[in-house]
Structure formats: C-alpha cells, structure tokens
Amino acid sequence: MIFYITLIIWIFFDLYSKFWAKTNLHEHINVFYNLVYLKYVENTWIAFSIPLTWLFQKIITIAIIISIFYYYIKYESIKKNKLIDLSFWLILAWALANAYERIFNWVVTDFIWLQYFAIFNLADSFISIWVIIYLIVEMKRK
C-alpha cells in the first residue's frame, strides 16, 4: 500500500512542479553561473528530442510504461529487495507523470536547462537517478 501512496504523491509533485513552471517562468532565470537556468519549454518531441508523430509518441509512451511494469512484476518483485522495489515504483511514478502530460496535453513541460546540454524536468532527472540506483544495486547483488 505504501508504494501506491508514494506513486501518487510523486506524480502530483511532478505535475505541480510543471504547473509552477508554466505559471511562473515567463523568462529564464539564471540559477548557477550561467550554466543552469530555469526556463519554461513545451517539449513536443519524445525522449532526446526524437521527432515522432503525436500518435506514435503516445503508443510508445504507453508501451514503455507497460513494459517497465511487466518487467518489474515478472523479474524484480520476486527478489524481495526493498531498494529495487522503491526504484521501480519511483521510476514508474515519474514515467506516469510525463506520460500524463504527453497523452492529455500533447506536450511535456521542461524547465531545468543545463547550458550546452539539455532541458528537462524533475521526472526526467529522477528517472535517471533511480535507474542508476537500480543498476548499482544490481551490480552489488551480482
């Protein structure tokens, strides 16, 4: 039950952060030495700005989330490792938050801009962090 509550909390947290960006970031804000900015951008493409049609983006988004959930249930949940469970639930939470925007708003709100690199949102960064944590746990386990 705690995982479901955590999932819902993080989805709302991410959606709120995107709402905040949309309503407050009317111009970019320098956060760290002209390298990190807050800047509101509507991302119409899928991961790494791959240009796909809106219908194909939605299909891929749903397929990826279902695949992650299936993989977790089939292979990872049986390990009874709390950190693995947590990492998968948080990855799913952040993925669902992005998917909600992609499916219902047709765009994903990005607002953290690393100069010379990329612009992304909290969900993108936390997915990356929890994937790294999962990989570290798996490497240590083996």
pLDDT at 49 > cutoff 70: no
Residues with Cβ within 8 Å of 104's Cβ and at least 6 positions away in sequence, in order, are none
14 a catalytic residue: no
Catalytic member of 18, 124, 126, 134: 124
Integer CA distances (angstroms), 75 to 52, 70, 116, 133, in order = 31, 8, 38, 17
Catalytic member of 61, 109, 110, 123: 110
Q: Helix 122-141 crosses helix 82-104 at what angle (to 10 degrees)?
A: 150
Kindly report whether the global pTM for this prediction surpasses the value 0.85: no
In this predicted model, what pLDDT tens digit does every residue of 79-123 receive, in sequence order? Answer: 888 888 888 888 888 899 888 888 888 889 999 998 888 888 989
110 a catalytic residue: yes
pLDDT in the model for residue 46: 73
State which H helix or E strand residue 117 sits in.
none
